[in-house]
Amino acid sequence: MESDRKLLMQELEKLVKERDSLKKRLENMEMLVDSLKEDAKQLQNVFDIVWKADMRAVRLWRKTTGKDFIMPDRCDLVVYLMGELDKAKRRIREMEKGGMK
C-alpha cells in the first residue's frame, strides 16, 4: 500500500513538473506571439509608407509621360525621379546665379 502511494506521488510530481514546464512554454510562446504581432504591425506601417510614396511617384510619372494606363516598374520610377531631382537642382542653381535667392 505504501509503495503504491509512493508511486502515485512520484507520478503526481512528474505531472506537476510537466504542467509547470508546459505553462512556462506557453508563456514564452505568448510573448513571442505578442512580439511577432508588433513586428507585423511595424512592417505593415513601413509597407503603407512605401506604397503611398510609390503611388505618388506613379502619379507624377503618368502625368509627365502621359501614359495613364501603364504601371511603371521601379527602375522607370527611379530614373524619372532622379531626372526630376537633377532638373530641380539645375533650376535652383540658375536662380541662385541670377540673384533670385
**What are the structural domain ranges in the chain?**
2-97
Which residues of the chain are modeled with pLDDT < 50? none
Q: How confident is the model at residue 100, as a pLDDT?
A: 59
Q: How confident is the model at residue 13, as a pLDDT?
A: 96
Using a 10 angstrom Cβ sphere, with 0-12 exposed, 13-18 middle and 19 or more buried, the burial of residue 42 is exposed
Q: How confident is the model at residue 99, as a pLDDT?
A: 67
Instruction: Look at residues 46, 74, 48, 47 and name the one whose alpha carbon lies nearest to residue 61.
Output: 74
Q: How confident is the model at residue 58, as a pLDDT?
A: 96
Q: How confident is the model at residue 79, as a pLDDT?
A: 95
Strands of the chain, DSSP E: none
pTM metric for this prediction: 0.64
Q: How confident is the model at residue 1, as a pLDDT?
A: 78
